[in-house]
Structures are given as structure tokens and as C-alpha cells.
Amino acid sequence: MSWLGRNRVALAVIAVCVPALVGVLFGFEVLSRDSKATEIVTVAADDSVEIAGYTWRLTENVEIAGEGRAVNDIPLGTSIVAALVEVTPTGDSPSDTTCDVSLTSRSSGENLSWRTVGDVSVYGYGRLADTSSFCSLNGEPFELELVFLAPNGVYDSATVEFSLGDSDAIYRFRLND
């Protein structure tokens, strides 16, 4: 009997087991990555979007260029970017969710992000009355006032980015179209 004939059973076992082992080791990982893929939704400057039972609309935004601390409290080379976002419940909206917010730009080829400024008075910025700086959804309508400090030029290509709770989706509001 030839070598192949004598070892046919062993070869058949290898032919089945090796691909099965590779599948078990890497297949689940690949599948779970696909299922966790982040959905990115881009919203035009004058548009609104429904997220988690609320309607979100970016109503206003502005760039205040830094003229130096001695002039307008904003360092040279930087700008204050401020945005107002109207958040309105659509009906039976959940009331125990918070969201993460950042200013982002991809014009350099990388996904750069800036966090909101905590103490805006440092940069001579005064918040509007009746706006919120904290993104907390409590079932009531509110206006979110977001303030960022970013390098000059970022505003032209910037988006305000939201992600809610455990959701894998990211919502990007364009400041300029």
C-alpha cells in the first residue's frame, strides 16, 4: 500500500481540523469586529437628526479669533469655536442618558479632536442665559452651548461630534457647508 493510502485517515483529519482550528481562533474575532463597526452619521449645517428619541439641530455657531491674551483673552494662534444645539424630545424619550461631545476635524488626514472648555471665562467668553454646557438627556427640551478652544483654521473644516450612551453610532454636525 502506498504512503498516501496508509495515511489517508490522518491526512483527512488534518484537512478538517486545521481549518476548523483557524476558524475558531480568528473567525469569531473577525465577526465580532464587523458587528461592532461604528456607524457615522454626518448632519448638514442646516439639518436636524433624530437620535435616541430626541431631535437634534445645530442652530448657531461662531468662531472668535484669538488676538492675544492682552487684547481679547484668547491666545494668538487659537480661536474659540462655539455652537448652539437645540435638543427636543420627540415623545416617549428616555431620560437617563448622557452624551460625549467633541470638536473634530479630519482635514489633516487624521481624526483630530478637541474637548469642550470648562471655564470659558478664562477666554473672555460669556455663556448665554438658559443654555446648558452639559449633555444630559432628562426628557425635557434644552439648548446645549458648546465651547471649544482650537487652533486657527480648524473651524473651516470642523464638525461637532456626539456619541450617546452605549451606542456605537457617531453623529457629526457640520459647522460649515
Q: Which residues bind another protein (CB under 8 A)?
A: 66, 68-69, 75-78, 110-115, 149-151, 154
Q: What's the min distance (Å) between Cβ of 49 and another protein?
A: 24
Residue 131: partners with Cβ closer than 8 Å, 6 or more residues away: 84, 142, 143, 144, 145
Q: Residue 99 or 154: which CB sits closer to another protein?
A: 154
Q: Residue 54 or 123: which CB sits closer to another protein?
A: 123
9: exposed, middle or buried (Cβ count in 10 Å: 0-12, 13-18, 19+):
exposed
Q: Residue 135 or 137: which CB sits closer to another protein?
A: 135
Q: What's the min distance (Å) between Cβ of 72 and another protein?
A: 12
Residue 95, classed as helix, strand or coil, is: coil
Task: Give the H or E element holding residue 41.
Answer: strand 40-43
Q: Residue 84 or 112: which CB sits closer to another protein?
A: 112
Q: What's the min distance (Å) between Cβ of 114 and another protein?
A: 5
| CA nearest neighbour of 122 among 72, 55, 60 | 72
Q: What's the min distance (Å) between Cβ of 45 and another protein?
A: 23
Strands (E), 66-177: 78-89, 97-105, 112-114, 136-137, 142-151, 159-164, 170-174
